[in-house]
Amino acid sequence: MTAPRLRRVRVLVLGSGAREHALAVALAADDDVSDVLVAPGGPGVADVAEVVAVDPLDGAAVAALAREREMDLVVVGPEAPLVAGVADAVRAAGVDCFGPSAAAARLEGSKAFAKEVMASAGVPTAMARVCTDLGQVAAALDAFGAPHVVKDDGLAAGKGVVVTGDREEALAHARSCLEGRPGAGASAVVVEEFLDGPEVSLFVLCDGTDVVPLAPAQDSKRLLDGDEGPNTGGMGAYSPLPWAPPGLVDEVVERVARPVVAEMARRGTPFAGVLYCGLALTSRGVRVVEFNARFGDPETQVVLPRLRTPLGGVLRAAATGRLAELEPLTWSDGAAVVVVLAAAGYPASPRTGDAVTGLAAAAAVPGARVLHAGTATGADGTLVSAGGRVLSLVGTGATLADARAAAAAAVAEVGLDGGQHRGDIAVGAAEGVRA
């Protein structure tokens, strides 16, 4: 008699962006995963998952859904539910959850807290001062000199940071952050030293004790080609990084991820989930630019297609304190490039409701995949834009040049009035130039 097959895993993904679409694609491709649900999702993710209309910020509703639909694992995509304690609510309902507690998600939710943890753990980062009035800001700007870096202390969806050579602009940003939340006693800005050198995003899976790094990627945060224009949530990314120094990943694990995980455990708020290490490779060594408590968007769209190890088991191991038992991850030698198609007016005031066309032709490009972010079904049943970043066009191939070509061919097929995208994602790396 053969043993009964173990029940296959049912996974609920929270979020509605292209990152969550990429997670759902990878989970659906895992033979040990039987069902993928996404809440709230959108029209695009229905190709691989069941879309459920539940508010991901409502911990009680998410926990009830997970219980009712007999989920084995909940994967939290964005930061807002983490900071709101949704992972705590899911775990309290007896369901495994990939994503840190609200207490541990403060590593992303408060830049001042992240700096304090890094100082305690001896992690290399930019020198910084936490300021609660404009006099302190002015003194800090003068102490560090130009270029100036001013950050809103709280969550700002990638738009709370201004990097500028203009002292007046730096002061104006600080003023708007400090005045933005009148009466909110914790209102603060962080002024810090400018870090030169290329940026790297490294996702490190954590289970409270152990850590497992994924492959590094590079995100392009500025709106326009040549790294011009305003900061955005991310306009494109690629992986691997042929120019990265050998040993970079091990160095970040030893000098950044392990000390932070140990410090968080020591404080009684263990970090389990993904620690997104935003790094600058400066002339004086690796420095942490920021931590996030979740996968990066759009970097996830290029890291997951290269991961050969089935994703469900990996996330479950992190969620249940069993990373030490995981076999070493395996990766494809190939490359992936993502180009983000953003709406007219993004990032300041994205226009919504524009027709989005050509997706079948884009998806038919060899090596290309269309992932949805800000899309919705319009009144007449056709697809319309519904957010700042509308689509992620992912290209994969043997080399970065092949992957770039596939992503470019896909984006060329899409119609979106006023749509904005970068044409230079991974161009230097594909040509063998340092980032």
Q: Is the peptide bond before 240 cis (omega within 30 degrees of 0)?
A: yes
Chain residue whose CB lies nearest ligand GLY = 234
Q: What is the DSSP string of 121-150?
A: HT--B--EEEESSHHHHHHHHHHH-SSEEE
Closest CB to ligand AMP among residues 165, 415 = 165
Q: Which long-range contacts (CB under 8 A, 24 or more apart) does 64-71 make?
A: 64/93, 65/12, 65/37, 65/39, 66/12, 66/90, 66/93, 66/95, 67/93, 67/94, 67/95, 69/10, 69/12, 69/37, 70/10, 71/10, 71/11, 71/12, 71/37, 71/95
Task: For residue 349, give the DSSP letter.
Answer: S
- Whose tokens are 């970090």? That residue is 271
Pick what 352 binds: ligand AMP, ligand GLY, none; C-beta below 5 to 8 Å, kind-dependent. Answer: none
Q: Is 153 in the site for ligand GLY (CB under 6 A)?
A: no
The β-bridge relationship of strands 73-76 and 9-15 is parallel
Q: Is 232 in the site for ligand GLY (CB under 6 A)?
A: no
Min CB(343)–ligand AMP separation in Å: 21
How far apart CA 363 and CA 414 sit, in angstroms, is 10
Min CB(292)–ligand GLY separation in Å: 5
How far apart CA 316 and CA 328 sit, in angstroms, is 15
Q: Cβ distance 141 to 194 under 8 Å?
A: no
Chain residue whose CB lies nearest ligand AMP = 290
Min CB(235)–ligand AMP separation in Å: 12
Pick what 96 binds: ligand GLY, ligand AMP, none; C-beta below 5 to 8 Å, kind-dependent. Answer: none
Site string for ligand GLY, 296-335 (x = CB under 6 A): xx-x------------------------------------
Task: Give the up-direction half-sphere exposure of residue 326: CA atoms within 13 A in the CB hemisphere.
Answer: 26
Min CB(222)–ligand GLY separation in Å: 12
Closest CB to ligand GLY among residues 41, 296 = 296
Residue 3, class by beta-carbon neighbours within 10 Å (0-12 exposed, 13-18 middle, 19+ buried)? exposed
Pick what 234 binds: ligand GLY, ligand AMP, none; C-beta below 5 to 8 Å, kind-dependent. Answer: ligand GLY
Min CB(239)–ligand GLY separation in Å: 13
Q: Point out which span in 95-103, 209-217, 294-302, 388-396 binds ligand GLY (CB under 6 A).
A: 294-302
Pick what 20 binds: ligand GLY, ligand AMP, none; C-beta below 5 to 8 Å, kind-dependent. Answer: none
Q: Which residues pair with 98 in a beta bridge?
A: 75
Other CB atoms within a 10 A radius of the CB of residue 43 amount to 17
What interhelical angle do 111-121 and 258-266 show, nearest 10?
Answer: 100
In the list 40, 43, 124, 158, the residue contacting ligand GLY (rule: CB under 6 A) is: 158
Number of residues that bind ligand GLY (CB under 6 A): 8
In the list 234, 240, 367, 374, the residue contacting ligand GLY (rule: CB under 6 A) is: 234
Min CB(273)–ligand AMP separation in Å: 18
Pick what 161 binds: ligand GLY, ligand AMP, none; C-beta below 5 to 8 Å, kind-dependent. Answer: ligand AMP
> Where does 110-246 have alpha helices with state H?
111-121, 134-144, 167-180
Closest CB to ligand GLY among residues 33, 195 = 195
Q: Is 354 in the site for ligand GLY (CB under 6 A)?
A: no
Min CB(11)–ligand AMP separation in Å: 28
Closest CB to ligand GLY among residues 302, 416 = 302
How far apart CA 111 and CA 153 sit, in angstroms, is 5
Q: Is 152 in the site for ligand GLY (CB under 6 A)?
A: no
202-221: contacts with ligand GLY (CB under 6 A): 219
Pick what 384 binds: ligand AMP, ligand GLY, none; C-beta below 5 to 8 Å, kind-dependent. Answer: none
**Site for ligand AMP, rule CB under 6 A:** 126, 149, 151, 158, 161, 163, 192, 194-195, 199, 221, 231, 278, 289-290
Pick what 163 binds: ligand GLY, ligand AMP, none; C-beta below 5 to 8 Å, kind-dependent. Answer: ligand AMP
Q: Is the peptide bond before 147 cis (omega within 30 degrees of 0)?
A: yes
b/e 337-365 (16+ beta carbons within 10 angstroms → b): bbbbbbbbebbeebebebebebbebbeeb
Min CB(132)–ligand GLY separation in Å: 25
Pick what 378 binds: ligand AMP, ligand GLY, none; C-beta below 5 to 8 Å, kind-dependent. Answer: none
How far apart CA 28 and CA 11 sit, in angstroms, is 9
Pick what 15 binds: ligand GLY, ligand AMP, none; C-beta below 5 to 8 Å, kind-dependent. Answer: none
Contact positions toward ligand GLY, by CB under 6 A? 158, 219, 233-234, 292, 296-297, 299
